[in-house]
Amino acid sequence: MKKHEFQEDGNAPSELTNARVEIDRVDRELIRLLKRRMEAVRTVGDVKLEGPALPFVDAGREREVLHAWVREAQAQGLSEYFTGRILREILNYSRRTQENGPGRGPEGGGRRTVRVGYQGSPGSYSDLACTKLFAARGDVVERMGYSCFGLVVRALEEGEIDYALLPVENSVTGSIGEVNQLLVTRNLAVVDEETCTVDHCLVGLRGAQIGELREIRSHPVALGQCQRMFSSLREARAVDHFDTAGAARSVREAGDPTIAAIASAEAAERYGLAILREGVADQVHNQTRFLLLSKEAERVDTRWPGKTTLTFTVKDRSGALAACLKVLADHSINLTRLESRAEPETPWEYMFLADLEGYAEDANVASALGELRPWTNHLRVLGSYPSRALEERPIELPPLERGNGKQRTRSKSAPKAANAPAPATLHALPADQKRSIIRAGSAEIGGNRFTLILGPCAVESRDQIHEAAAMIKTRGAHLMRGGAFKPRSSPYSFQGLGFEGLTFLAEAGRRYELPIVTEVLRPEDVDPVARDADVLQVGARNMHNTELLKALGRIRRPVLLKRGMSATLEELLQAAEYIMAGGNHRVILCERGIRTFETSTRNTLDVSAVPVLKARTHLPVIVDPSHAAGVRELVTPLALAAAAVGADGLIVECHPDPSAALCDKEQALRPEDLEQLVEKLRPIVASQGRTL
């Protein structure tokens, strides 16, 4: 054996020192060369950005570069596999460098400071994913960690942060249910994605011995991914912690060498811990996918490969889900994820959450979305964004002997929706004449049941609304109406109790098992009202309020849309289209009378509107005889006429004591009037093959 020459201090052989010096010199040169490569990459990106509409990702060019690397690796006697892995990371870095070039980014401007929230502590995998993602986006980041996913979303909704970065699925354990439930139940926009390699390490105090460990802390998911390690450490028990990095920090704070954590190497370094064992996960290949969420959608350069995330519910008809999947297949759209989430407010109904390749404005995607809508009760695009997960896929490399590596193929951007035909109106009656049935809690509007929506004009007190609920429950009501917010002609009239009244109404609805219907006046009130109300009503004054209609299109509650007092039927249908175009297809049309020169009634009930609308739309049509008449004695005759011409139901004002009502007392039915109305309706409804 060769005897090594040692330095005078005796610390290491001179050959070892010289070799390390050489490694350091080569590493510095590699960094300088990488910098030069990135400068050239930025130039390529700038040329593509300013020149003709060329895609940023050129798969043919990437394969050509890989061929060259493989050939050079072979010539130098290096591993093709490890050389290819290095190149893949360089290509990923190159893509992101081009994306973050001049004039690019979400706002098309310079660097900005953004606040990003995530679940966990500094050094967690969410924190690492944040670092990786925002290196591409080019923003200066202020990070805020939260103890749970719900708090992150709440902070986003309340403006405490600009973005939320949340994990949605893991390659080993699958979907992260709590986050995906937040996606389908809250009004969030998906603006980007990121993937992060999960490399679990067993970390503890310096000097700790693995065989002496008695407690190992981590997030429950991380603990579940390291079961093989626990089988070899029989004395150590697993202890749940809210976060991997937080578990590492708790180990440092405990100061006990018998306590360890499962966390990232970065977390160990941050909290001054030693890595006791690397690669402790059961599965070597472990990645987590994150979504970046915002309150509003953002522009994106569609020359990058992209994804779209959407939610939808299918109509209650045979083969609806299969039809939706066939639409995507017919348009050559690759569905990368599809899962169902329970709808808590409607038992045994499910919301589907899907990811697909392509942008919503691509012609094939836009066309497919248009064809999906007739099969859905709700369809909302949460966002289109660059596909980061594609970066993790290996580059396809055909055998070297095929060609000389000089042939190039250029990936083409999908044609944009500007060239696609305009979508058909969503409210139109389909060719099969199939009509929509809208479910609200236990009630149905449309179909074979004639629906009665009964209750007072306004919620006046807790006692009053509970008394009204008891009255209508025993007289056949399917839903209860009541105004918490009252738009009045006079500013001095009773305006309602607001959210306090909504609370009273919701209490009465739960007690008497009646879904509740109430009016919403402002876009900003839609979400809080929807948390308590089963059906949100748009009054006649707001039928043309497009901002309110758009906000209602983003929720999953049915909407009762009243015809404006001077609106045509076409204008009513277009107002419904606003709601449906936003993704909410559960719209109930309501004829409530129009303003004419006649003064003997409050409005003139247009009974012809019912058959005309039913010939033009699949949406249910109900009638409000109370606001049409304005006089108690006329409400029942008009209600019977509405039933006779084919209305799907009635919304009628009634009050336990109309003389004491704070608004519209002249048109409110008394208990005995309500009983007479129901009895007179029975033969008319039965003659149409329906039931009450």
Both structure tokens of 9: 């201090």
CA–CA dist 517, 485 (Å, integer):
12
CA–CA dist 461, 433 (Å, integer):
44
Both structure tokens of 567: 């609106």
List CB contacts of 398: < 8 A, sequence separation 6 or more. 63
Of 162, 169, 222, the closest CA to residue 194 belongs to: 169
- CB 337 within 8 Å of CB 291: no
Q: 288 catalytic, yes or no?
A: yes
Q: Please give the biggest Cα pair distance in the chain.
A: 117
- CB 624 within 8 Å of CB 650: yes
Provide the H-helix boundaries in 138-235.
149-157, 177-185, 220-224, 227-232
Burial track 33-57 (b if 16+ CB lie within 10 A, e otherwise): eeeeebeebbebbeebbeeeeebbb
Distance of CA 403 to the CA centre of its chain: 46
Which one of 56, 134, 149, 290 is the catalytic residue?
Answer: 290
Cβ atoms < 10 Å from Cβ of 287: 17
CA–CA dist 218, 241 (Å, integer):
5
For residue 523, the SS3 value is helix
Both structure tokens of 580: 């449906």
Provide the H-helix boundaries in 349-497.
363-372, 462-473
Which one of 288, 309, 311, 617 is the catalytic residue?
Answer: 288
**Mode of pairing for the β-strands spanning 350-357 and 335-342:** antiparallel
SS3 content of the chain, % helix, strand, coil (to 5): 40, 20, 40
- CB 513 within 8 Å of CB 534: no
DSSP per-residue letters across 57-106 = --HHHHHHHHHHHHHHHHHHT--HHHHHHHHHHHHHHHHHHHHTSTT-ST
Catalytic site positions? 288, 290
